[in-house]
Copies of this chain bind each other. A is one copy, B any other.
Amino acid sequence: MCYNLALPRFPRPERLLRAMSQLVGNALIGQSGGPTCVINQSLVGVIETCVGNAAVRNVYGAVHGIQGILQGKLIDVGRESRETLEAVAKTPCAALRSVRKKPTREECERVLQAFKQYDVRYFFYIGGNDSAETAHILNEVAMAENYDVRLFHVPKTIDNDLRVTDHCPGYGSAAKFVASAFMGDNQDNRSLPGIKIDVVMGRHAGWLTAASALARECEDDGPHLIYVPERVFDMERFLGDVDAMYAKHGRCLVAVSEGIHGPGGALIVQSKEVDSHGNVQLSGSGALGDFLAAEVKAKLGKDLRVRADTFGYLQRSFAGYASEVDAVEAREVGRTAARVALSGDRPHGSVTIRATRDGGYRASFEVTDLKNVAKETRDMEDALLKGDNDVAPAFLDYVRPLVGEMPHAARLSDFPVR
Q: Which residues of A line the B interface, CB within 8 A?
A: 2, 31, 34-35, 37, 58, 60-61, 63, 74-77, 79-80, 84, 87-88, 90-100, 118, 180-181, 183-185, 187-188, 190-193, 196, 215, 283-287, 289-290, 293, 306-314, 316-321, 406-418
**What CA separation (Å) do A212 and B411 show in the bound complex?**
32
**What CA separation (Å) do A293 and B184 show in the bound complex?**
28
Asked if residues B293 and A192 are in contact (CB atoms below 8 Å), the reply is no
Smallest CB gap from A39: residue in B: B191
Smallest CB gap from A37: residue in B: B184
**What CA separation (Å) do A314 and B184 show in the bound complex?**
7
Asked if residues B284 and A309 are in contact (CB atoms below 8 Å), the reply is yes
Within 8 Å CB of A95, what residues of B?
Answer: 410-412
Asked if residues A97 and B190 are in contact (CB atoms below 8 Å), the reply is yes
Within 8 Å CB of A406, what residues of B?
Answer: 319-320
Within 8 Å CB of A2, what residues of B?
Answer: 413
Asked if residues B319 and A184 are in contact (CB atoms below 8 Å), the reply is yes
Within 8 Å CB of A418, what residues of B?
Answer: 58, 76
**What CA separation (Å) do A283 and B307 show in the bound complex?**
8
Asked if residues A319 and B183 are in contact (CB atoms below 8 Å), the reply is yes
Asked if residues A312 and B310 are in contact (CB atoms below 8 Å), the reply is yes
Within 8 Å CB of A319, what residues of B?
Answer: 180-181, 183-184, 187, 215, 406-407, 409
Nearest first, the 9 closest Cβ-Cβ pairs linking A and B are A286-B286, A284-B307, A320-B407, A309-B312, A87-B410, A184-B317, A93-B187, A183-B319, A188-B317
Smallest CB gap from A297: residue in B: B273
